[in-house]
Structure 1
Amino acid sequence: MKAIWNNTVVAESDDTIVVENNHYFPADSIKREFFEDSIAHTTCPWKGRASYYSLRVNGELNKDAAWYYPEPKEAASQIEGRVAFWKGVKVEN
């Protein structure tokens, strides 16, 4: 699977886990040069507290376009150390 934004592959892996129709990529499969830490957080009742990354590609910013669960609840333990995308990031084979 590939995560693509602004015509650039920002993550690529054959080992994604799908939860609620989102592909969660292993942390070591993301291209860190495009990721910036965000101060945003949200809470999911069954997954826990999510943290976000913004993407910066070719001078353009996609704020809070990726998220991850640093310490997911037990029910979501399979996505620990993984990153998912939204806000126009295309995930495809």
Structure 2
Amino acid sequence: MRARVGETTIAEADEADLVRIEGNWYFPPAAVDKALLQTSDTPYTCPWKGECQYYSVKIGNEILADRAWAYPEPYPGAIERVGRDFAGYIAFAPDVEVGD
């Protein structure tokens, strides 16, 4: 599976390595091109997953604010609920194409 904006691939991994949560595919950290992400200061805490870290995606000179996010330290109950540790896995907003 790939996460893309236009022709730029942001992340790529086998589907078996991804985690699906609430309709979003979460890519393992090693599968993401971190050079295309910039840490965002946007705060958010999910009531069941924990504190979220947002990222903006930089494609050329364009910055797409808060188009990616991760849970660096998910609540233990969230890991149990998902059935797999997804700490640091990165998901993308709907305008980032995720598919084969």
Please confirm whether the aligned pair reaches a TM-score higher than 0.5, indicating the same fold: yes
* Aligned-residue identity in percent: 39
Largest Rg, 1 or 2: 2
Q: Take 2:70 and 2:20, find their aligned partners in 1: how far apart are those partners?
A: 13
> Structure 1 segments of 4 or more deviating over 6 A?
none
Is 1:84 aligned with 2:84?
no
User: What amino acid does structure 2 have at the position aligned with 1:83?
Assistant: I
Q: Take 2:21 and 2:33, find their aligned partners in 1: how far apart are those partners?
A: 22
- Consecutive unaligned residues of structure 2, counting only runs of 5 or more, are 80-84
1:1-93 equivalence runs, <5 A: 1-14=1-14, 15-77=17-79, 78-93=85-100
- Consecutive unaligned residues of structure 1, counting only runs of 5 or more, are none
CA contact (8 A) 1:25 1:83 kept: yes
TM-score (norm 1): 0.93
Q: Take 2:38 and 2:31, find their aligned partners in 1: how far apart are those partners?
A: 15
* Superposed CA offset, 1:46-74 (max 9, x none): 10110111000121111010000111111
Q: Take 2:4 and 2:37, find their aligned partners in 1: how far apart are those partners?
A: 13
Q: Please report the RMSD computed on the Cα atoms of aligned residues, expressed in angstroms.
A: 1.1
User: What amino acid does structure 2 have at the position aligned with 1:57?
Assistant: I
Tell me the matched-pair count.
93
Measure how far apart 1:87 and its partner are.
4.7
